[in-house]
Amino acid sequence: MYLLQEIIFVFFTLLTLVSAVYMAITTNVIYAAFSLLLTFIGVAALYIFASAEFIGLTQIMIYIGGILILIVFGVMLTNKVGNQPIRAKSINTVSGLLLSSALFTLLMNSIMEINFSKLPWIKNGLMVSGNTTPIIGVNLMTQYLLPFEIIAVLLLVALLGASLIAGRKDN
């Protein structure tokens, strides 16, 4: 049982990493979009592994079901505009690599040093068993009510912005 868990975990981790790397280096935008799909799926699976099934499902519904589909549509519809296939290329490879590897070492180092079992919230999290969705729902409507409401403003602004950007130009 434990071994199976391990295998599944490694599988999804590799799926996430490989597809993310492929997405970053490929020059074909369609391929990139599809490998992004795999990345999202991998991440969603990892969320579920961390017993955050609500987040995992949201990830699938919103990122894959919504955003990614939009991206793919956008790429396909605009691909032929101007008869130029959309290509992506990498710039600033060296400095980018340096910066990201620095960040990577930093994060890795600290992760290695953390004694996870000591962290208070991990203990609290383990106590929650079963379905987390109702707890999230209750929390959103009680403790986090104000952020929940204020996010409405954020969404409104985003909508407004979308309509302004897409709307007609000044003469």
Partner 1 sequence: MITLVILALVGLFLMIAGLFDISRKAVFGVAMTGMVAALAGNLYMWDKVPMAYFNRMILIDNYDVAFITAVLGVSMFLFLLSENYFGKIQNYLTEHYALYMFSLVGMIAMISFNNLVMLFIGIEILSVSLYILAGSEKNNLSSNEASLKYFLMGAFATGILLMGITLIYGASGSFYLSGIEQYFTSGNELSPIAYIGMFLVLVGMSFKVSVAPFHFWTPDVYDGSPTFVTAFMSTVVKIAGFAAFFKLFYICFSSVIHYWVEVVSVLVILTVTIGAMTAITQKSVKRLLAYSSVSHAGYMLMVVLVGADADNLMFYVVAYSISSIVAFSVLMLVQEAAGNAEITSFEGLAKVNPLLGFAMTVSMLSLAGIPLTAGFMAKVYILTSVFNAGHGIVVLVAILTAMVGIYYYFKVIIAIYFKTATEERKLFTYNSSSLFKIVLFIGIIAIIVLGICPDIIHNLI
**Interface residues with partner 1 (CB under 8 A)?**
106-107, 109-111, 113-115, 118-121, 124, 142-147, 150-151, 153-154, 156-158, 160-161, 163-165, 167-171
Shortest distance in whole angstroms from residue 37 CB to partner 1: 20
Shortest distance in whole angstroms from residue 22 CB to partner 1: 21
Shortest distance in whole angstroms from residue 86 CB to partner 1: 16
Token pair 């396909």 is found at 76
Shortest distance in whole angstroms from residue 40 CB to partner 1: 16
Closer residue to partner 1 (CB): 2 or 121:
121
Beta bridge partners of 28: 87
Closer residue to partner 1 (CB): 10 or 159:
159
Collect all residues with Cβ–Cβ distance below 8 Å to 125 and sequence separation of at least 6: 51
How far apart, in Å, are the Cα atoms of 112 and each of 92, 101, 103, 104, 145? 30, 16, 14, 12, 36
Closer residue to partner 1 (CB): 3 or 111:
111
Which among 157, 139, 160 has a CA at the least distance from the CA of 148?
A: 139
